[in-house]
Amino acid sequence: MDNLRQLVEALIFASAIPLSLERLSVLTEQQKVELRPIIAQLLQQHNSSERGFYLAEVAGGYQFRTVANLAPWLKKLSKERAPRFSRAALETLAIIAYRQPSTRAEIEYLRGVDSGGVMKTLLDKNLLRILGKKDVPGRPLMYGTSRQFLELFGLGDLNDLPTLKEFAALDPQLIEADPLASEPIGTI
């Protein structure tokens, strides 16, 4: 296909969600091996110049995004408000992101308060998803973060989350020693 680069660029531009390499392969009817150098070229082209947007690798796919310092002007275009999170919602999201899969009881134990309402809100906003049931008595639901969580926070995958050491470097009092910090993060 002569205009494959243009087609890939147009598909990413027109999509409201990040497009994975697999999805681009299906849409363009091309092999992933043919698309990889095109994606690399587009990443270099759109991320090396002084433009108002860039190509981001986020949530397992690719999406054009505007540069952050233009946000005040871009907000004038949309009536949609940026999502705001309560402290409870951010605590719950952080616990689940770092410890997934997590049950409601585990989250409530760490937070020290009932988290059912907060978790329902996060599920309704598609920031959390149910991963299955834990193989213990009562078979409680296990929760994890969603692709929309990754997209909202600009993460390629969960490995892009800051480590506890990075948090401690910002302010050692913000974080206490965590004996479970060496556990793997998990996958989506």
All structural domains of the chain with their residue ranges: 4-76, 87-174
Same fold, 4-76 and 87-174: yes
Of all residues in the chain, the percent with pLDDT exceeding 70 is 85
Range 151-155 average pLDDT:
85
pTM above 0.75, yes or no: no
Cross-strand bridge partners of residue 144: 129
| Torsion, CA 140, CA 146, CA 148, CA 152, rounded to 10 | 90
| pLDDT tens digit sequence for 29-83 | 989 899 999 999 998 888 876 888 889 888 889 998 888 888 888 877 776 666 7
87-174 has which fold?
Answer: Arc Repressor Mutant, subunit A (1.10.10)
Q: Which of 73-87, 116-130, 151-165, 171-185 has the lowest mean pLDDT?
A: 171-185
| pLDDT tens digit sequence for 131-141 | 999 999 999 99
Query: Helix, strand or coil for residue 132?
Result: strand
Q: Is the model's pLDDT at 173 over the cut of 80? A: no
Nearest by Cα to 161 from 143, 137, 145? 145
CB 13 within 8 A of CB 64: yes
The tokens describing 183, both together, are 């556990």
Q: Angle at which helices 87-99 and 116-124 pack, to 10 degrees?
A: 80
The tokens describing 123, both together, are 């599920």
The whole-chain average pLDDT of the chain stands at 83
The class of domain 4-76 in CATH terms is mainly alpha
What per-residue confidence (pLDDT) applies to 76? Answer: 77
Question: Which one-letter DSSP state was computed for residue 17?
Answer: S
